[in-house]
Structure 1
Amino acid sequence: MQSPPTVAYEEAMAADDRGLYKWLSNIYKFGFSFVSGVPATPEATEELSERIGFIRETQYGKFWDFTSDLAKGDTAYTTLALGAHTDNTYFTDPCGLQLFHLLSHTDGTGGATLLVDGFYAASIMKELHPEAYELLSCVRVPAHAAGEPGSLYTPAPPTGYPVLGHDAVTGELVQVRWNNDDRSVMTRLEAGEVEKWYDAIRVWNKCLTSADSEYWVQLQPGTAVVVDNHRVLHGRSAFDGKRRMCGAYIGVDEYRSKLVVLGEKFAPDAVLQATKDLPEANVNGRSIWNPAL
């Protein structure tokens, strides 16, 4: 709360990439990071987004620049409060990172940004309510986006994915997918599971909305925030007035690739250090002994 993960815009944009590595490392460690001193323009914000990787284009466009004008059939384009959620639960592969930058807010108040570490909330649930945790780890949740007349998105398979996704080999929690506003009808629950599952999401909601889970911040023009959409849920309080927001989605693979490559450069692991001078140990500049290969 007193010193959230932050890098300066000049650091993130510097040609030597050291600031970019710091920025991405913040996201990897904490699930989010602020960038301070960003020019309050969509052009500068788009350029900042592209420092990480390709911007992912969706039904909302490539780089967004929008107000609460209901231009799209989505709650983001309203003034309503939004509870903690991840984006793209209706996609087979939800975006990896999401960047937001408030460009202006005039003639009104409100609109504070909410961040919740889904991994933290899940760890509390696992410790205190293991049966509910297990249900959220195995019950598939169908989802859809049907606000636009020209599109209707559902994931493949249409039965959806569990709220809590785990690595099939290690069992480690690797992804949170939760947006109650995009959830479809739970038609595939067994009769005996219905009440248990709804009880489980009530417990989940309590974990997400507990005081020690919620991190609120009033964004100002010039400060962008990036969140790991597979880990950190975001939301906002209701607001009035005219609020202009811009931002972008970035694929998880592009983000992880850039982080690994910069890690090789600025924080090489023990294997890289030990093998760098061996004959024929490097191909195209990368050690053949690196565990990543």
Structure 2
Amino acid sequence: MWGSSLSTVVRPAARHQAYLGRRAYIATKPFQGAAAALALRKPIPAQEPEPELPLTEVDGRRVAVQWSSDLQSRFHHIWLRDHCRCSECFHPITKQRMLDTFSIPADIQPRAVDATGEGLVIQWASPHEHTSLYPWSWLKNNSYDPQQFAPKPDWQKPIIWDNRTIRTRTPTVEYYDVMENDDALYDWLAKIKKWGVCFVRGVPADLNSTEALARRISFIRETQYGKMWSFTSDLAHGDTAYTNIALPAHTDNTYFTDPAGLQIFHLLEHTGGTGGETLLVDGLHVAREVRRRYPRSFELLSQVPIPCHAAGDEDTFYRPDPNSGYPVLSVDASTGEVWHVRWNNNDRSVVNAVHPDLMEAWYQAIRDWNRCLTEPSAEYWVKLQPRTVVVIDNQRVMHGRAEFTGRRQLCGAYMGKDDFMSRLRVLWEKGEAGALDVHERRNVWSPGL
């Protein structure tokens, strides 16, 4: 329903209607000569009906757009002026703001509001006269009152999996496809984003080929372990990964303020022994189970920070900033969905910042988390083989390892989440816009700007 405080109805622009009338006059103007007479015998094709434009209302603070009888959006005047995308206010090449937001009067008012075929046109009266245009689709996708969510690419819709799901639909791609073809590369990155994990078959069993595969995604993130790392059970670093003991499901880098986004593993050899199976668990599945079965524990896991450290090497001592750490689960404030899982009980530091009234409840919360994490239905065990790489979203999927004997050597790398997502978005843009160059396929109204 229309807001009672919105009073002025603004109909489709008068100049737009005048233009339509003028076009109708030209279409019916008498023809001259024989050619005209011949043309008159031809049927005149029916014109496409003009699309119905939204109605708008204006009050002292907002412009309301009536999309349909039961859907309306409201936009504050200051928000509309701040989001002008003309070339004076928003650079068409760099896609950066040029308007000084703080020069906009807090009580700015439109002088005129017109609904046109191109979009909503607003003429501003102060502090300097200015005209802004907002495409209808852009306004609808960016509605915040009420909040509307723009359509998402398929890769932004996660597949939350358990043991049964991933065994029957294991996400897999071929090495030579992703190395030679950008469409295949896009398919690979989309699977990583949707599933949080993807296997790559046919990779030559050496460090250089694994590095080349990683660089198809983005930059390699250098840490205390180097850029590309190759390790076995020799304790070359003070980390239990450099032993042969079993490792429970965990995410890496909980001791970093910004943990790695992706992690790549490639088993180069395993000789003279057994064991070493890889464990994968979808953190989103575990979070969903905890939320369903233990809502109070879910609340604590998403609120109470956990301090962590990496201190096994004498020349490094990592702790996150702030030292109190971060919660196990990060929740998107706008959707309520879990977007980041951070869990490694082995790297947990002294817990001394939890309120005393919550300490026992917090221990129960991590017990409930561990119960859901270690259920057989959540665990996916796989025996890695040379020539198969596994890529893991380190901020979602937890990994572990069974105890092993013999010589087992892996190589791998870390990659930044933002670098990975940038590459995926660019490949998606290319696929959506075909052969258009970057400035044509990404304009000032593109999603996310």
Shorter-normalised TM-score: what interval?
Answer: over 0.9
Cα distance in structure 1, aligned partners of 2:438 and 2:401: 48
Q: Who is 1:137 aligned against?
A: 302
Q: 1:168 and 2:324 equivalent? A: no
Whether contact under 8 Å (2:429, 2:441) holds in the other structure is no
Aligned letter for 1:283? Answer: H
- Total equivalences in the alignment: 283
Q: 1:8 and 2:164 equivalent? A: no
Please give the residue correspondences for 1:116-195 in structure 2 after superposition, counting only pairs within 5 Å: 116-195=281-360
State the Cα distance separating 1:192 from its structure 2 match: 1.4
SS at match of 2:390: strand
Q: Which has the bigger relative contact order, CA under 8 A and spacing at least 6?
A: 1
Please give the residue correspondences for 1:86-105 in structure 2 after superposition, counting only pairs within 5 Å: 86-105=251-270
Percent identity among equivalent residues? 56
Q: 1:74 and 2:239 equivalent? A: yes
Cα distance in structure 2, aligned partners of 1:18 and 1:103: 28
Q: Who is 2:442 aligned against?
A: 286
Q: Which runs of 5+ in 2 are unaligned?
A: 1-166
**Cα-to-partner distance string for 1:24-72 (whole Å, 9 max, x where unaligned):** 0111111100000000001100111111111000001110011111110
* Residues 282 and 229 of structure 1: CA distance in aligned 2, closer, same or farther (over 3 Å): closer
Whether contact under 8 Å (2:307, 2:348) holds in the other structure is yes
Which of these residues, 340, 356, 371, is aligned with residue 206 of structure 1? 371
Task: State the TM-score, normalized to the length of structure 1.
Answer: 0.93
**Cα-to-partner distance string for 1:182-204 (whole Å, 9 max, x where unaligned):** 11111011111111111110110
State the Cα distance separating 1:13 from its structure 2 match: 0.5
Please give the residue correspondences for 1:210-249 in structure 2 after superposition, counting only pairs within 5 Å: 210-249=375-414
Structure 1 runs (4+) deviating above 3 angstroms are none
State the Cα distance separating 1:147 from its structure 2 match: 0.5
State the Cα distance separating 1:287 from its structure 2 match: 2.6
Q: 1:33 and 2:198 equivalent? A: yes
Q: Who is 1:258 aligned against?
A: 423
Q: Who is 2:277 aligned against?
A: 112
Whether contact under 8 Å (1:96, 1:253) holds in the other structure is yes
Which of these residues, 193, 206, 209, is aligned with residue 44 of structure 1? 209
**Cα-to-partner distance string for 1:136-192 (whole Å, 9 max, x where unaligned):** 000010110001100100001111000001123333211000000111111011111
Alignment RMSD, CA only? 1.6
SS at match of 2:173: strand
Cα distance in structure 1, aligned partners of 2:441 and 2:195: 30
Whether contact under 8 Å (2:430, 2:441) holds in the other structure is no
Q: Who is 2:39 aligned against?
A: none
Q: Which runs of 5+ in 1 are unaligned?
A: none
Greater Rg, structure 1 or structure 2? 2
